[in-house]
Structure 1
């Protein structure tokens, strides 16, 4: 059997390849792609039985695979790989779409592959994908609720420039709403956002949106300047990782 892995993270692709080789002997060919358009080209060339698809990638969401194929062309099974929230996982389950939660585990993978094999040629994957797309409201779930003094403010993730710890509170700096003092510790937001590709924790006191980095200053031990002109420290042990993330 053939599979195609579509994931923008090289480490994630390598891990999945190793887990497949070690746990799924029925899979004899593994092909890889680093984004959705090149993944589509690989699918057209190789005609895989199963596609492992990261749902959150720069440029295209994995769910947009529907934009590249007609319903009749999706003859392969899809297993999404995701670090998404509990809400999104419910959407997968509601629409009978298989998924693997990152970090991946071998027993989880084996079950998903065996299930996919039994479903090949038995179900219209495109119909379930369309329903998943409707359930997810892809653009709308890219928001987070921030508890503020007079209620909950829902902010689009791309609006968030950075977050800064303030004891048991967090200062959230946004493009449109300015600075917000939120009654949650930074740890809460790290747990919910750090798995999303645009968010990164360079220091114990900060969580930043990589899309809003303005400059890296190689002075005073090195620090980051964000789009709102705020300076952010980088821990000594995070510098190499930071540059690796930025150059990925």
Structure 2
């Protein structure tokens, strides 16, 4: 099975490629590109069996690439890979055979590859895929225990008990521990659903902090509240809707 990976993050392309190669020696990565325009060109020239498409990319996004493939009647199976779960229905309207939400779970990816290996031609939505849409639109999460995080070109596995805070920044979430900082692509709102509410508090739309790591709470002259953690002297803003969390402190 010949595969193209299209994602604007080199680290994520590398990680997905390694996962696929580990799953089966029959999965061959024939190209890895960083934007939608390159993806469309490589698909046209290489005619892969499968393309893993990030939805949000520079130039053409993943949905636009899929639409172009449909118009040109290029027969390749599409798997959308994204950090966001709000495009599932659009993805299947463009003929996706599957839809993966980052961070990619190896068990979930294995199911995808089995579906791909059993597909004899380009797939169209069926009952199984409609079930998947419902799952991605209303995900049910288990409590988060381990995190796969990136630091430079390396992937680390850290326990959630090591985390002091999560801070959303651009496309990434920075994961801060006592002695290091890492990045992940999981949206903060998804992390909030997987973290224990008695252990972690979301004090701002961009910050989740471990309660036991809070060393000080203060207000400025304008009444804005801030917290400081044991990890350093950085003042973290507290939204007004979260002020009530600190009434008993």
TM-score (norm 2): 0.47
TM-score using structure 1 length: 0.47
